[in-house]
């Protein structure tokens, strides 16, 4: 009876562990995508900074172009800050899911150990009953011979 209940609970834990693994992988993929976006934004920022640094080296400076570059630089800085916040949220979400997965795995492992102990105990109980029968038969055989 208890074995069946433990087996059912273990089956449910295995399913929930699989679902948690899938969810964790999905969040990890989203986190990686957000990191790629941040990298792209930083590369664009570096390109604009390099363009600003190269402006005016013996050339005439166009005020509108400089104004555009500075505006774009400001906008990229805002985007990077927003991306960093998004990345932070995704990282926390990933860590939370990873912790949940670890907890589910621990619970599943505890149930597996418990189920194994119950099976071993049942097996020992069966051996004890069998040994009692053998002992009883040998004792009664000794009395029958008298």
User: Which CATH number fits the domain that encloses residue 8?
Assistant: 1.10.287
pLDDT tens across 69-113, in order? 889 999 999 999 999 999 999 999 999 999 999 999 999 999 999
142 vs 25: CA distance, rounded Å: 69
Q: What does the mean pLDDT of the chain come to?
A: 89
Which residue range(s) make up the domain with 59?
2-145
Per the structure, the count of domains in the chain is 1
Question: 24, 96 in Cβ contact below 8 A?
Answer: no
Mean pLDDT of 43-65: 79
Query: In sequence order, what DSSP letters do the residues of 75-101 get, joined into one string?
Result: HHHHHHHHHHHHHHHHHHHHHHHHHHH
Measured at the CA of 41, the angle between CA 71 and CA 86, to 5 degrees, comes to: 105
pLDDT at residue 18, rounded to an integer: 95
pTM of the model as a whole: 0.72
pLDDT at residue 3, rounded to an integer: 84
H or E element at residue 56: none
């Amino acid at each position: 009876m208890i074995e069946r209940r433990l087996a059912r609970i273990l089956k449910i834990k295995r399913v929930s562990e699989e679902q948690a693994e899938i969810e964790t992988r999905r969040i990890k993929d989203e986190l990686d995508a957000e990191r790629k976006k941040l990298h792209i934004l930083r590369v664009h920022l570096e390109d604009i900074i390099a363009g600003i640094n190269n402006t005016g080296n013996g050339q005439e400076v166009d005020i509108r172009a400089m104004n555009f570059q500075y505006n774009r630089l400001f906008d990229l800085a805002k985007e990077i800050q927003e991306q960093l916040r998004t990345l932070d949220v995704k990282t926390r979400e990933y860590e939370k899911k990873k912790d949940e997965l670890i907890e589910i795995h621990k619970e599943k492992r505890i149930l597996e150990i418990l189920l194994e102990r119950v099976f071993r105990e049942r097996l020992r109980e069966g051996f004890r009953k069998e040994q009692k029968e053998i002992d009883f038969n040998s004792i009664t055989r000794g009395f029958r011979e008298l």
